[in-house]
């Protein structure tokens, strides 16, 4: 993980609280409230140094501003990161301490920022965070929230893939396409089942070998994690952690297009240009992965019915079509759309 040193600070606010219960650093970055309250998930993750967590929270918050603007939401971007000192699982008591500390930190911002699940957290955790703040979203439905965001996120990914396939392959139907899916977490599981049902020839991987049972269940071919990115195919779907696409990997890709929900897929902005020059059609991950935030904020902040919120999620397909029709690099077109909406606000 790169250091904070040398990063350009364009955020409205960065706060680092030492949790009064856990003693751990709770970092919250608010990148922009130009379009409304900043939103972004809470990440609990081990970092070699807590300052690496600060670097991560700054990047992730900026990506959320990009994501919400391209999606047309009345929100800005923010993020929470708690840098865990070890990779060992937290005990239930320790986890509760951390989540209550997160709630205190979020509440201290007075409604400028609201949080939800991210890597290392889930809907049930937002109930605990919500004991200390009004601004915890995507709680289970029985607790008054919009529930698990993985289903809506996957719906948005499928809408994006359909639009991409129509543009690149002449049909939104994935039947017969060779699709490689990296990551079989909550969102990846939804995608594996949906893509297999739709007739894609599916290759999958995950760092957890126990997920191989899912591959067998959906009739997918299993490959080792270090072989997946460069496997031959039509479409690569990154659905694990970020940093997959680097200057070293791009020349080795053997796919026509890349579209997936993993955050921060590029190791640097210049990699988008490399992909475009190679003729690999890459959809920016903030566009593809916006389904969860569209659904959660729609139900919990704008009072939409679940059906109406899902209809907005499927609108990601129209956004992708607009970006692709702009011509040139999709990354540049999506950035231009985000700037246009932020300027208009």
Active site residues: 79
Give yes or no for a contact between 98 and 82, defined as CB atoms under 8 angstroms apart.
yes
Instruction: Say how far apart CA 145 and CA 142 lie, in whole Å.
Output: 7
Instruction: Say how far apart CA 201 and CA 158 lie, in whole Å.
Output: 15
Give yes or no for a contact between 122 and 148, defined as CB atoms under 8 angstroms apart.
yes
Instruction: Say how far apart CA 244 and CA 265 lie, in whole Å.
Output: 5
The gap between the terminal CA atoms of the chain, to the nearest Å, is 33
Half-sphere exposure of residue 309: CA atoms within 13 angstroms, side-chain side: 23
Helices (H) and strands (E) in the chain, counts: 13, 11
Query: Bridge partners of 81?
Result: 27, 43
Kindly compute the dihedral angle of the four CA atoms of residues 297, 316, 155, 31, in this order, to the nearest 10 degrees.
-40
Instruction: Say how far apart CA 68 and CA 206 lie, in whole Å.
Output: 28
- The H-or-E segment that residue 130 falls in is none
């Amino acid at each position: 993980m790169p250091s904070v040193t040398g990063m350009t600070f364009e955020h409205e606010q960065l706060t680092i609280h030492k949790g009064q219960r856990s003693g751990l650093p709770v970092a919250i970055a608010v990148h922009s409230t130009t379009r409304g309250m900043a939103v972004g998930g809470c990440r609990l993750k081990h970092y070699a140094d807590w300052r690496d967590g600060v670097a991560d929270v700054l990047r992730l918050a900026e990506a959320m501003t990009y994501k919400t603007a391209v999606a047309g939401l009345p929100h800005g971007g923010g993020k929470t990161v708690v840098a865990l000192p070890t990779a060992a699982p937290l005990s239930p008591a320790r986890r509760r301490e951390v989540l209550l500390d997160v709630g205190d930190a979020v509440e201290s911002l007075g409604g400028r920022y609201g949080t939800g699940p991210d890597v290392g957290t889930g809907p049930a955790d937002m109930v605990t965070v919500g004991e200390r703040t009004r601004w915890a979203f995507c709680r289970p439905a029985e607790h008054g929230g919009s529930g698990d965001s993985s289903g809506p996120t996957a719906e948005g990914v499928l809408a994006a893939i359909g639009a991409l396939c129509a543009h690149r392959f002449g049909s939104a139907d994935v039947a017969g396409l060779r699709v490689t899916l990296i990551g079989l977490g909550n969102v990846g599981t939804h995608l594996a089942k949906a893509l297999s049902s739709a007739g894609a020839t599916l290759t999958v991987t995950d760092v957890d070998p126990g997920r191989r049972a899912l591959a067998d269940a959906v009739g997918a071919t299993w490959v080792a994690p270090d072989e997946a990115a460069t496997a031959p195919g039509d479409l690569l779907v990154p659905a694990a952690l970020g940093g997959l696409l680097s200057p070293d990997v791009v020349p080795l890709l053997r796919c026509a297009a890349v579209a997936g929900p993993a955050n921060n897929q590029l190791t640097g902005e210049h990699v988008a240009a490399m992909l475009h020059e190679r003729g690999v059609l890459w959809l920016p991950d903030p566009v593809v992965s916006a389904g969860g935030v569209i659904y959660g904020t729609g139900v919990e902040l704008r009072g939409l019915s679940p059906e109406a919120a899902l209809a907005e999620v499927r609108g990601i397909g129209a956004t992708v079509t607009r970006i692709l029709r702009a011509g040139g690099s999709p990354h540049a077109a999506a950035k231009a759309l985000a700037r246009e909406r932020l300027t208009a606000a």
